[in-house]
Amino acid sequence: MNDNQAETNSDSRSNSVNGTKISDIVTTNEKSLESNNIIDGPPKDQGYAWVIMAVSVINTLFSFGSTNAFGVFQAYYLKVMFVDEPADNIAWISTVCITCTLCGGLLAGPIIRTLGLRNSSLLGTLVASIGLLLASFATKIWHLVLTQGVIFGLGSSIIVNISLTAPSLWFDKYRNVAIGTVATGGSMGSLVLVPIVTKFISVSTIGWAFRALCAIYFVCTGICGFFVRPRVEYKPSTKIIDLSLLKDPAAIMIFLVGMFMQIGFNVVILYFPSNLIDIGTAQATASNLIMVFASFSLVSRITLGYFSKTLGEINIPLVFHFITAILLLAMWYLTSKFSVLLGFYILFGVFGVSFFSLGPVIVAKYYPEDRVAQMNGLSYLLMGLTIFAFVPSTGVVFEKIGQRTSYKQVILIGGIAYFLSVIPLVILKILVKRYNPNFKKDI
């Protein structure tokens, strides 16, 4: 071997370690450092994370809260505006609104991937505000189905999806508290928006009630939209629907809980205020009692966020849904006394809403960040389709069997639905203890 060959071999050995070139190691380290800089981003659970939580709360306050305030509109439609129209026809207004708010979230993923979180939120604000403004000029049921239902619902659905997704990107240690607090937005919305809507309807017209709601919605969600941003680069899946989730037993159980819960919940939201009016309660009082319900619902949702890690995200709705079913059948079904019904409404606010705050917590706990939006979107799609099928059916039952005066049949539907929601919760409790390739690796 000559000197040149020896030098070449020596250089080769010095530039390799166990067969790996040092240049490759350096390149890999550089890429790793670059990747870490991208992945790390701002710290979780502090600083701007709390800004994200605050704006998400306000956004859900108006997107979900407006839907809750529509209980005031529903009572007005039944008792004043469309008194000669069949109840099942009127039910389509709220049905389409809730369905679009829930189902439209599937569009959020591709929109966010194209426009980003901030611009997508602002787009939702614009679309929803246009829907409310157009609804203020509506005079027929189909006008309201299109404006209050489709346009407003789709705009709000984008904001709802972003508001539930963003906190999961910014929180880890306090994720349950953050998402649980964001989920209280719907109850807060009832407290803020119900008195506004009620006041405008009583002193002016339903048209001006819609215009006032439109102005407040546009300003508040528009400002909050400017503060929304991901912690690191966030690119949700390009798929509108990830059908592979329908092969995941745990995901299926989560979906079933939401579907049954929505049936029972909407029976109370849509028919309880009207029932109060029928037993002699003034319309303004019935509307104000929605705020009482919302107050207890708000306290319940916030409290559950704090205690969910101790008591269990699945254990709480499992017990609470069972209690809610008993309340429906033992209190609302059996009496028409105002004091008992008021007690029911308060207790329903405490026990009947747990899955609204803890459903997203369960998803964020067990599924990786890039699947959270898909899980929430598909969950809300199925809940929306359930409402689309069952709310009009409930309206037919109320119209044909209850003769628009008896609420016993719809109460039975609500109670049975809450009982049925307990079954998938029991199964889910078993499934989360088993290996699931779709779950996070670091649970």
| Percent of the chain as helix, strand, coil, to the nearest 5 | 80, 0, 20
At residue 12 the predicted structure's pLDDT band, cuts being 50, 70 and 90, is very low
Residue 190 to residues 224, 231, 282, 287, 291, Cα–Cα distance (Å) = 19, 30, 19, 10, 6
Give which of 97, 30, 107, 34 is closest to 63, Cα–Cα.
97
* Residue 315 CB-density burial (10 A; 0-12 exposed, 13-18 middle, 19+ buried): middle
pLDDT at 193: 84
Is the per-residue pLDDT at 18 higher than 70? no
DSSP H stretches of helix in 312-407: 315-327, 338-351, 354-366, 369-396
pLDDT at 39: 54
DSSP state of 16: E
pLDDT at 217: 94
Most confident of 69-78, 114-123, 361-370: 114-123
Residues 393 and 386: their CA atoms lie apart, in Å, by: 11
What three-state secondary structure class fits 17?
strand
pLDDT at 375: 86
pTM recorded for the entire structure: 0.75
Q: Strands (DSSP E) along 204-313, which ranges?
A: none
Q: What is the mean pLDDT of the chain?
A: 84
Residues 46 and 57: their CA atoms lie apart, in Å, by: 17
User: How is 236-260 classified by DSSP, letter by letter?
Assistant: --S-S--GGGGG-HHHHHHHHHHHH
Token look-up 């809403």 returns 353
Q: Which domains, and CATH codes, for the chain?
A: 43-431 (1.20.1250.20)
Mean pLDDT of 230-245: 77
pLDDT: which is higher, 410 or 45? 410
Token look-up 């049905």 returns 95
How far is the first Cα of the chain from the last one, in angstroms, to the nearest whole number?
58
% of residues, the chain, pLDDT over 70:
89
pLDDT tens per residue, range 149-203: 999 999 999 998 899 889 888 998 888 888 888 878 877 877 888 788 888 888 8
